[in-house]
Structure 1
Amino acid sequence: MPKNKRPVPRKSANSPELKDEQQTTELCALALDLADGEFNQDIVADSTRADLAQKALDFQRLLRKLLNQGKDEVLYGAIELARDEALDGFRYLRNAVEEGAASVLMRREGAPEMEIDAFAIPVFVHSQGGLDPAFDFQDGAAYEALLDSFTDAGLESAKAKVVLVSHAYDLDEFERVSYGQLHAMVREAAHSLTEKKIAAAPALERSMAAGWSATGFGADDTAVELRFLLGFALKRADDPFYKVPAGEKAADAYFAKRAERYQQWTERHAPLVARCLGRGRGAPELRLNFLYQDLFFGARAQGQSEYAMLQLLSTLNQALDGQSPDQVEAVIAPADLDDEMLLRVQLRAGGAVLAEADKPLDPCADLEEEVDDLRDALASIGIARLTVALRFDAQGQPVEPRPLG
């Protein structure tokens, strides 16, 4: 007779695993309902509006609780669950988690409500030999001047308190920072800006512990590396500096003015940033290209996208060696690799595939805009003949290709 198998133990009604599963499902369900209500708000009944208002409160309460507890498994699990259910819900939930992780509201009796946000600035650093980690943020005078520049140049409110981390993060370091860890870092920054007593900042220290990833640059190599400046801004929640006007034209003008101030800041203060970044291993001079300042996860996404584009162009440009770009065709189509969406570019000449390269494709991205960005990027290496397709088949052949006009 076969031996009886040991029964699988049931999860206790109070087990942490079951509670995590319930919270994952609850957070996802609330986000799906709120996203659907937001999309259909013009046609919902008053009773439904009241129900959605209560769900919005429940959603924010649960989200804050999960962030404060550092429940990354629940947060990431809920986002993945929403992705499988509905794109609008996925977008709503991911945006809410990213914004919530990067900010903390502080309320004290008899004092105005305060808010602290984690912002970041991605910058591509051109050097000879690659950046030398021994010189990372070693210029104290440059650091102090750079810190003051955020309020002096109007990147943050003149009434805000700003702290800048004395470290330039590489992409691997930034990608390791989770929702829960960032939220803990924001709380640590809030403590340092509001309390006289110095306290440990383990989450912040952990974010820098691994240091920069090793590179293979020689002393004479031309290097392009991505770095992130990370800062925290504490301000009154009702500071008019951050209030976006209600009208569309007024809002556009507001953001245009902010973009103009940022552009001026990059031009004026790039030398200070370079001094903080140090020097290359082969030569001291650095050349910087800034992306736009944003909250942590928005800035990270910018950097990831631009870095992936540069890698793609590098791969394709190497394949052009000995080929005339006007004799080459680029075929662009979505691809799926291990459930990750990609935008693939296949370089062809006379029917033969010279090379192919992939770029991650965000599920919420506008495919036409992504293709337009690729068109501009490919033009920079001389490729003008473009074809788009629905996808690539198992043999790597484009399905339903058509010339891109």
Structure 2
Amino acid sequence: MPRHKRPLPRKSNNITGPDVDSQAQALADLALAIVEHEDDDLQQQAGSEAELATEVRRALRRRHDEVLYGAVELARYSDPEACRLLRGRIEEEAATLRIRREDAPELEIDAFLVPIFVQSAGGLNAAEAFQDDAAYEALTASFKQAGLDSLDAKVALIRYAYDLDEIDGINYSTLHEMLREAAASLLDKKLAPAPLIEASMRGWTGEGFAPDEMAMQLRFLLGFSLKRADDPFYRVPDDEAGADAYFERRMERYQRWTADVEPLVARCLAFDPGRLTLNFLYQDLFYGAKEQGLSELAMLGTLSEVSRVLAEKQLEAQQVHAVVAPLEGVGQIVLRINLYAVDGGPPWATLEKPVDLSADLGSELDDLCEALVALGLEGVSVAEGFDADGHPQGAEPYAPDADEQ
């Protein structure tokens, strides 16, 4: 992907001391140096990565969100790989907290999300959510019972279903402080105050639905997991094969868990759980799960547009061929989709799916093509671009990598 001109850093007066812009630039430059010298001396590389983690933790402790978000923005326009590295480090540190106690084992607490798409007639009613005490208690206990967390861990599930706007409103340092609040509650015998956690539940936004209108809504379950930092349950093997097997087993346990707890979650969301259909995305640390939800929501929107075009033109999916090409837009990349008749001719419709500059373009392209294939189209091709008349240039039939099939 081509590099882009960096934007002028945004000014901020919220930090006293060293300049916000220079701190953000230093973090972005450090991330860039790491990816540009990743094949150099391993000891030096490890030192640079440790320095990056230290600087990120310092910014989180000082609640310097302007520095962190500014650094990600600068890296986005300099190098996609550096941006992914920097954002990943910030998100991991924001969602994880080490707790060191005198004469006691070191603890770790992390914030996780379970994204869920809820389909129902009339949509969800916030007043009905989490009124079933037994379902909530059983759902909280299920994380350990199903092997998603260690039996020695302490798991707290917030008694609330967040919408996307609420999750989006939780910034890096706020989440980090929410970890401290959750840890205090889990470690103390008495209930500790948690003003930031309480403030995060701001109320759902968005339009209501008619009683007979089918609604698809994204909701997130937020939880906290406290455990010993050296708990072997969470240790990922160093070798690639061992790591793959570890995560494969974890995925199998998660899939079983979703089937088992679906009735419990439905009871937590509505008085009439039978009217809900739930589709779980994968449980992950806070920002990874949030990104899953955003990505799936955008994909559903794109596929809905494709289906709308087919319906308007009274076409069956097998009568249509799609060609996808990545194009550079203003401040972003777009994946353009042209829909053609099977026997050729000009495109019937053109759709675009925006992609962040720092995203893995190959993965984004694969995900979109696979989703289009799943719609039942006659075929999907990938092109280098389109000419002025919309005809594809250098198009080849889409074929996923053999090891992904």
TM-score by length of 2: 0.87
Change over 3 Å in CA distance of 1:74–1:251 after alignment to 2: same
How far apart in 2 are the matches of 1:74 and 1:251? 34
Displacement, 1:85?
2.5
SS in 2 for 1:183: helix
- The equivalent of 1:315 in structure 2 is 305
The question of 1:345 aligning with 2:344 is answered no
Q: Residues 129 and 270 of structure 2 are in contact (CA less than 8 Å); yes or no, is this contact kept in structure 1?
A: yes
SS in 2 for 1:126: strand
The question of 1:387 aligning with 2:381 is answered yes
The question of 1:237 aligning with 2:236 is answered no
- The equivalent of 1:3 in structure 2 is none
Q: Deviations over 1:169-193 (max 9, x none)?
A: 1122222222122112112111211
2:217 maps to a residue whose letter is: E
- The equivalent of 2:22 in structure 1 is 22
SS in 1 for 2:340: strand
How far apart in 1 are the matches of 2:131 and 2:329? 42
Q: Residues 372 and 380 of structure 2 are in contact (CA less than 8 Å); yes or no, is this contact kept in structure 1?
A: no
- The equivalent of 2:151 in structure 1 is 158
- The equivalent of 2:4 in structure 1 is none
How far apart in 1 are the matches of 2:336 and 2:289? 24
Q: Deviations over 1:195-225 (max 9, x none)?
A: 345443232223211x212235211122221
* Residue in structure 1 matching 2:179, options 166, 179, 186: 186
Q: Identity of aligned pairs, percent? A: 49
Q: Residues 373 and 380 of structure 2 are in contact (CA less than 8 Å); yes or no, is this contact kept in structure 1?
A: no
Q: How many residues align?
A: 382
SS in 2 for 1:343: strand
Question: Larger Rg: 1 or 2?
Answer: 1
- The equivalent of 1:66 in structure 2 is 59
Change over 3 Å in CA distance of 1:196–1:388 after alignment to 2: same
- The equivalent of 1:40 in structure 2 is 39
Gaps of 5+ in 1: 1-10
* Residue in structure 2 matching 1:88, options 81, 91, 98: 81
TM-score by length of 1: 0.87
Q: CA RMSD in A?
A: 2.5
Displacement, 1:54?
4.2
Q: Residues 335 and 392 of structure 1 are in contact (CA less than 8 Å); yes or no, is this contact kept in structure 2?
A: no
- The equivalent of 2:290 in structure 1 is 300
* Residue in structure 1 matching 2:219, options 201, 218, 227: 227
Q: Residues 130 and 224 of structure 1 are in contact (CA less than 8 Å); yes or no, is this contact kept in structure 2?
A: yes
* Residue in structure 1 matching 2:106, options 101, 113, 121: 113
Displacement, 1:269?
1.2
Displacement, 1:319?
0.8
How far apart in 2 are the matches of 1:53 and 1:374? 36
How far apart in 1 are the matches of 2:255 and 2:320? 36
* Residue in structure 2 matching 1:130, options 118, 123, 126: 123
How far apart in 2 are the matches of 1:16 and 1:398? 55
